[in-house]
Amino acid sequence: MIAETGLAALWIAAALALLQACLGLGALGREGAPLMRAVRPVAVVQALMTLTAFGALLLVFWRTDLSVKLVAEESATTLPAMYRIAGAWGNHEGSMLLWVTILALSGAAVALLERRLPERTLAATIAAQAVIALGFFAFLLFSSNPFARLPVPPVEGSGFNPLLQDPGLAFHPPTLYVGYVGLSVAFSFAVGALLTRDVGPAFARAMRPWVLGAWVFLTIGITAGSYWAYYELGWGGWWFWDPTENASLMPWLAATALLHSVTVLATRDGLRAWTVMLAVVAFSMSMVGTFLVRSGILTSVHAFALDPRRGAFILVLLALYIGGALALFGARIATVKEGNRFDPVSREGALVVNNLLLSAILGIVLIGTLYPLAVESMTGEKLSVGPPYFNAAAGPLALILVALVAVGPVMRWRREDVAAVARRVAVPGAITLMALVAVLLLAPGMRLLPLLGLVLAVGTGAASIAPLWKRNLRRTPLFTWGMVVAHLGVSVSLAGMASESAFTKETLVAARPGETVRVGPYVVCFAAIDPVAAENYTAVQATLIATRGAAQPITLQPEQRTFDNPPQQTSESAIATRLDGQLYAVVGEQVPGGRWQLRLWWKPFVTLIWAGGALIALGGALSLLGRTLPRRRPKVEQDGYARAY
């Protein structure tokens, strides 16, 4: 019954989405006010119905109801409780239902909370949101029904991919999805504003909190995903330029650009067309990214096997939504009045450069991600594009972007004097130079990118707090704090990346128990190797004792796990975190002579990468609070230099 309830709720939600779209579009007409009053409750009930369907899915997974096809294929009674639940979104159908649930919830949130947008634009926005939802409801109901039953239930399910059996999975996809799908709100806002030709500061101020919210979740999702790949895959790297990672990075880049351009629109009424464009692009990237990895067109660890008909279905949806929005953009944007102009040397100018750089990086990532596909369809040759391309192409641009973080926030709106800016960045500039000298002296022979990265990280770190200089910290608005914290996060993260890339020490050996290995400052003793057993796997566990000087020895126990259902081997790394870095150990296969492959890394300050990511997200959250909480000091809105983005 539960599965049928879920399916029924899904159908009702789809019908309500259709109704919502009609009401919203109807409200655009002359006599639209009564329709507008009806559209809000409809959006809320639609979200509740979708939530019911998702709850039903969670329940059948929790109970491991094997008569439901999806449960039988993707779960098993032997799984630990947490993965019996998380398994609900660790597969194609379930993750699509989660996607739609978040979509419906954000639609309801807009209907309930949005008060700043003009009524007509809001109606168009809610209609757009419903149209998007409708397509994905159709996709679920017609080709990815998560509630399909099996005529004869099996005795046991096929199990759950062991790589996904990790606490991170419980949070990583939902967080990322809130980010992806949250951007749908910006998309719908843009479509709504195009329909009513109402693009201006009020539109930008209304859209900004939604973009900020989605962006915060996207940042957390990417940071968490990167850490997951780092410790779960056991390859020692934190970013692989895998198509899925790119799929999450591309909307983030677009959203970051949007976040900055929307501020120009909100404060100075400039960059109208560009901001609308970015709002469309950001969610389009979310959809394209989800589609690319899910359809199996690009090979990735995240690709759930998908038959081409489903792929074609999503492709048609994408064509309609993105193509439709871009066509609307082409047709309508010229009739939107041009915004204010500004001097190239100004806060706006710096933000435009920021946007151009972010877009260029986005383009580089997009081209690198699609290039293998293009080559294969033209020549039939298979290839993959890896770090050498992405690092070389995107790295320098990213460094320029980080340098801009030091300068942009201390510039005035409208027009700025170059000499004045130079005076304001003199102290951080001097610190950067000192860092350069220090790095050259202390770590000679560093490669150029990590060297520049490290030096810039120090300089930008100093510059990022410059906007707080000589200010009353208690009266500084929250969104200024947000900007400072997020920009500081960028430099912290960059410092981690540069340090990891330049100073990592790696040792790969085949060792017998009793032998010792050196890695970085540590002497690691291979103490023992033992079999261990857990609920759903058996493993061999190595015990390594690492000592550095007189400090307390660290015990590391990496494992090589063999899961029984489905049969698969995974290696479980062991990581010890110290203030100045992480010791990372992986045990591999047994080799002849009673030896085991051991792979050890010493990664100085690698944790800064994710700490920086967390700071960036925290900064976004502070800004969001600053933008949504009642203003304490309305005066700051006019003050040029002090104003944050």
User: Which residues contribute to the site for other proteins (CB under 8 A)?
Assistant: 273, 277, 280-281, 284, 288, 291-292, 295-297, 308, 311-312, 315, 318-319, 322-323, 326-327, 329-330, 333-334, 370, 373-374, 376-377, 380
Examine residue 151 and say whether the peptide bond preceding it is cis (omega within 30 degrees of 0). Answer: no
Q: How far is the CB of 119 from other proteins (least distance, A)?
A: 27
Give the C-alpha separation, 228 to 372, whole Å.
26
Q: How far is the CB of 323 from other proteins (least distance, A)?
A: 6
Nearer to other proteins, 151 or 380 (CB): 380
Nearer to other proteins, 374 or 392 (CB): 374
CA distances 279 to 282, 305, 543, Å, are 5, 30, 51
Q: How far is the CB of 187 from other proteins (least distance, A)?
A: 13
Nearer to other proteins, 328 or 443 (CB): 328
Contacts of 388 (CB under 8 A, 6+ apart): none
Report helix, strand or coil for 517.
strand
Q: What six digits make up the tokens of 138? A: 């159709």
CA distances 392 to 368, 386, 485, 584, Å, are 12, 10, 28, 27
Nearer to other proteins, 327 or 426 (CB): 327
Measure the CA dihedral 271/277/282/285, to 10°: -150
Q: Among 358, 181, 128, 403, which Cα is nearest to 261's?
A: 358
Q: What six digits make up the tokens of 175? A: 């967080």
Q: How far is the CB of 322 from other proteins (least distance, A)?
A: 6
Give the C-alpha separation, 253 to 215, whole Å.
10
Q: How far is the CB of 225 from other proteins (least distance, A)?
A: 23
Contact yes or no for 294/304 (Cβ under 8 A): yes
Half-sphere exposure of 153 (CA within 13 A, CB side): 15
Nearer to other proteins, 69 or 332 (CB): 332
Q: How far is the CB of 374 from other proteins (least distance, A)?
A: 6
Q: Beta partners for 568? A: 563
Nearer to other proteins, 355 or 460 (CB): 355
Three-state SS letters, 347-367: HHHHHHHHHHHHHHHHHHHHH
DSSP letter at 514?
T
DSSP structure string for 72-113: HHH--TTS-HHHHHHGGGSSHHHHHHHHHHHHHHHHHHHHHH
Nearer to other proteins, 384 or 555 (CB): 384
Nearer to other proteins, 378 or 441 (CB): 378
Q: How far is the CB of 297 from other proteins (least distance, A)?
A: 5
Nearer to other proteins, 136 or 230 (CB): 136
Q: Among 50, 12, 11, 19, which Cα is nearest to 141's?
A: 11
Give the C-alpha separation, 109 to 464, whole Å.
33
Q: How far is the CB of 295 from other proteins (least distance, A)?
A: 6
Q: How far is the CB of 363 from other proteins (least distance, A)?
A: 10
Nearer to other proteins, 17 or 281 (CB): 281
Contacts of 354 (CB under 8 A, 6+ apart): 257, 260, 401, 404, 408
Give the C-alpha separation, 122 to 138, whole Å.
24
Nearer to other proteins, 312 or 440 (CB): 312
Q: How far is the CB of 67 from other proteins (least distance, A)?
A: 32
Q: How far is the CB of 209 from other proteins (least distance, A)?
A: 26
DSSP letter at 414?
S
Nearer to other proteins, 88 or 190 (CB): 190
Contact yes or no for 277/329 (Cβ under 8 A): yes
CA distances 60 to 65, 72, 158, 161, Å, are 5, 10, 15, 18
Nearer to other proteins, 154 or 311 (CB): 311
Backbone angles phi, psi at 586, to 5 degrees: -130, 135
Q: How far is the CB of 138 from other proteins (least distance, A)?
A: 18
